[in-house]
Amino acid sequence: MRSSDDAVWRDVHRGRVWRAQACRIVAETADVIALWIPAGSPAKVPSGGLRIPCDEWELVDTAPRATQLCLARPGRAHSVYVFWDGAWELDHWYVNFEQPLRRSPVGFDTFDQKLDLIVAPDGTYRWKDEDELEQAAALGLLDAAAVRAEAARVLEEWPFPTGWEDWRPDPSWPLPAFPEGWDVV
């Protein structure tokens, strides 16, 4: 896969796709993986709003409502998303704590660590899904202390702005599509 190729960002649990998001590779270097996820691009999520992985689930179609750019630093246990409003003004940053992205033949795999951080353009922030972090830890799905340590590291490093806020997709790009084999782990 090259820059400008379609790919899939997958949340993988117990050898199965838990969530999937079609995206376009914008950059893949030793320093950053950048994935464009436009509003309306195809995605799959567990049916019924299921938020904590369990033994059985079925995926249903969905799509993000906002355009975003996922920025992951190889080896780091989080990604930073840049969200824009409809006029391409910065809306907010969203830090998703997750296992470091792993390359797959169709894109990138991870496992969500539940905790999220939302940062406004003025630098104010709030935590999201702390209850889900504790529920997932109680089920043995993750190490809450390790996730909180990564969260403290993000706050200490303060990666905002990311340097990608003025990036724009090529206007000729169509919505990304799921590559063939997106569901094979």
What distances in angstroms separate CA 105 from CA 31, 59, 89, one per listed residue?
Answer: 20, 21, 34
Please report, for the chain, how many H helices and E strands are present, in that order: 2, 12
Q: What amino acid occupies position 179? A: P
Q: Which of 73, 76, 128, 148 is catalytic?
A: 128
Residue 55 token pair:
């033994």
- Is 128 annotated as catalytic? yes
Active site residues: 128
